[in-house]
Amino acid sequence: MREMVFEILTPREIEAKSMETITKELGGRTWPEPEFSIVKRCIHTSADFDYADNLCFSEDAAKIGVEALKNGADIVTDTKMAAAGINKNKLTSLGGEVHCYISDPDVVEEAKSRGCTRSTVCMERGAKLGKPTIFVIGNAPTALIELHRLINEEGLRPALIVGVPVGFVNVVESKELIMTDDMPYIVAKGRKGGSNIGAAIINAMLYTMGR
Amino acid sequence: MREMVFEILTPREIEAKSMETITKELGGRTWPEPEFSIVKRCIHTSADFDYADNLCFSEDAAKIGVEALKNGADIVTDTKMAAAGINKNKLTSLGGEVHCYISDPDVVEEAKSRGCTRSTVCMERGAKLGKPTIFVIGNAPTALIELHRLINEEGLRPALIVGVPVGFVNVVESKELIMTDDMPYIVAKGRKGGSNIGAAIINAMLYTMGR
């Protein structure tokens, strides 16, 4: 049995030390809060410093997101992984709830009969919640494209759009598109993103209010 | 409303096109199957080509993993996000099940009273399943360290270890440690990894058996 010496730290200490390392390796680059916390948590969840370059915030987007969460905003997401990764204890304590309709049988059915993606149908459902809602897109460019349509054609006013789909087809373009809308957004420009990044962004905002 | 032209493709077509792009950008680099499918799916889920360099496979690890899944192996993971991301329809059809004990109240309690991490307790529970088991570690180095102990001190024989914790403290070292054990492993060397990568590796193996 190979022996190695590991530092024995509590999860809280590990996180603090990780954030310290990230801050150090950012070499003096800094952001106003709560943006800085979001940048650091995205790097923390991926060990990928590209997020220091690709995260884009519309004016006061992170502050707006924190306020919305504080006031009990719900979250609609296109992936079960993002839904699983968001800190529900904290969210629930603020009055918010996570909705992910992607595998609901009636959503699957409706998408099939209309010939659109399930994510498109999910966004439509999310748009009908009737309360302030943060949309977290970790997978489907079609979700962002549908949000763009809902904003421009049906008057949807998301509390915040977290636009971090990942991939190689329509992903870059869908992010560019949503940034043309005059709505609060946090977007990871380019191909990168994912459910883990979506959840990290929400959790970073939640944790500004304590753990 | 800004208009952009998007290719309208089915999810299956999007995936095929993405895999084509990834293959092309790998510039001729190739792996035997099913390793190649795993490398491509990790890049697909992260848009991060580093996975072409950091994924390490013990001899025949991917083949061993596919066989284990085919024979109904269970999966134990340290994160709910990985559990959420694994294709349960496919897994269940083969007789397998995903277990994630991380938030079970008795696990939380036991970890607290013993002064260890919840992931450590999870691995101990997973070791007692009494059937072939694939361990998928997407977050906690302590889970890999505990697996190493279970293998060397308690005779645990995992069907496969997917060692892809992400982060800045003990992560690199825990991966190096698990690779010293004579067990089948798929490890993302270095800091990178995550629940999304863990789920992608399992799904890539599942999809070699069709969708």
**Tens of pLDDT, residues B18-28:** 999 999 999 99
Q: Which residues of A carry out catalysis?
A: 44
Q: Do B168 and A192 touch (CB under 8 A)?
A: no
Q: Do A166 and B45 touch (CB under 8 A)?
A: yes
Asked if residue A60 has pLDDT above 80, the reply is: yes
Which segments of chain A does DSSP mark as H helices, in order?
Answer: 11-25, 35-46, 51-54, 61-70, 80-85, 88-93, 105-114, 118-127, 141-154, 171-178, 195-207
Q: How confident is the model at residue A191 (pLDDT cuts 50, 70, 90)?
A: very high
Smallest CA–CA distance, residue A68 to chain B, in Å, is: 24
- Summarised one tens digit per residue, pLDDT across range A20-47 is 999 999 999 999 999 999 999 999 999 9
Contacts across the A-B interface (CB distance below 8 Å): 125
Asked if residue A67 has pLDDT above 70, the reply is: yes
Q: In the block, which residue shows the tokens 């990764």?
A: A85
Chain A residues touching B193 at Cβ < 8 A: 47
The answer as to whether B2 is a domain residue is no
Q: Provide the pairing of β-strand A98-99 with A160-163.
A: unpaired
| CA–CA dist A161, B140 (Å, integer) | 30
The answer as to whether B10 is a domain residue is no
Asked if residue A52 has pLDDT above 60, the reply is: yes
Q: Report the mean per-residue pLDDT for chain B.
A: 95
- Summarised one tens digit per residue, pLDDT across range B152-179 is 999 999 999 999 999 999 999 999 999 9
- Sort B99 into a burial class: Cβ within 10 Å, 0-12 / 13-18 / 19+: middle
Q: How confident is the model at residue A2 (pLDDT cuts 50, 70, 90)?
A: low
Q: What integer pLDDT is reported at residue A3 of this predicted model?
A: 64
Q: Do B177 and A4 touch (CB under 8 A)?
A: yes
**Catalytic residue (choose from B44, B90, B148, B192):** B44
Closest in B6, B141, B171 to A170, CB measured: B6
The answer as to whether A170 is a domain residue is yes
Element (H, E) at B118: helix B118-127
Substitution target in A17, A42, A48 with the highest count of B β-carbons within 10 Å is: A48
Q: What integer pLDDT is reported at residue A1 of this predicted model?
A: 57
Average pLDDT score over residue span A104-122: 94
Chain B residues touching A9 at Cβ < 8 A: 169
Average pLDDT score over residue span B25-37: 97
Domain range for residue A82? 11-207
For residue B26, what are its two tokens?
């790998």
**Phi, psi at B137, each rounded to 5°:** -110, 110
Q: Do B194 and A191 touch (CB under 8 A)?
A: no
The answer as to whether B46 is a domain residue is no
Chain B residues touching A117 at Cβ < 8 A: 11
Nearest Cα residue to B198 out of B131, B107, B100: B100
Q: Minimal Cα distance from A5: which residue of B?
A: B173
Partner residues linked to B186 by β-bridges: B57, B162
Nearest Cα residue to A195 out of B193, B139, B58, B196: B196
Q: Do A11 and B194 touch (CB under 8 A)?
A: no
**Phi, psi at B193, each rounded to 5°:** 150, -150
Q: Do B167 and A47 touch (CB under 8 A)?
A: yes
Q: In chain A, what is the straight-line distance between the N-terminal and C-terminal CA atoms, in Å?
A: 38
> What are the residues whose beta carbons fall under 8 Å from the beta carbon of A39, sequence distance 6 or more?
A31, A51, A52, A55
The answer as to whether B47 is a domain residue is no
The helix/strand count (H/E) of chain B reads as 11, 6
CATH number, domain at A67? 3.40.50.10230
Q: Minimal Cα distance from B24: which residue of A?
A: A168
| CA–CA dist A89, B71 (Å, integer) | 37
Chain B residues touching A179 at Cβ < 8 A: none
Chain A residues touching B49 at Cβ < 8 A: none
The answer as to whether A138 is a domain residue is yes
ipTM of the complex: 0.94
Smallest CA–CA distance, residue A141 to chain B, in Å, is: 10
Q: What integer pLDDT is reported at residue B8 of this predicted model?
A: 77
Asked if residue B1 has pLDDT above 60, the reply is: no
Q: Do A14 and B169 touch (CB under 8 A)?
A: yes
Asked if residue B128 has pLDDT above 60, the reply is: yes
- What's the domain count of chain B? 1
Smallest CA–CA distance, residue A81 to chain B, in Å, is: 5
The better pLDDT of the pair B1, B82 is held by: B82
Closest in A7, A141, A167 to B170, CB measured: A7
Q: Do B192 and A46 touch (CB under 8 A)?
A: yes
Q: Report the mean per-residue pLDDT for chain A.
A: 95
Asked if residue A5 has pLDDT above 80, the reply is: no
The answer as to whether A3 is a domain residue is no
CB A104 within 8 Å of CB A163: no
Q: Minimal Cα distance from A82: which residue of B?
A: B81
Q: What integer pLDDT is reported at residue A33 of this predicted model?
A: 97
**Phi, psi at B66, each rounded to 5°:** -60, -45
The answer as to whether B29 is a domain residue is no
Average pLDDT score over residue span A173-185: 97
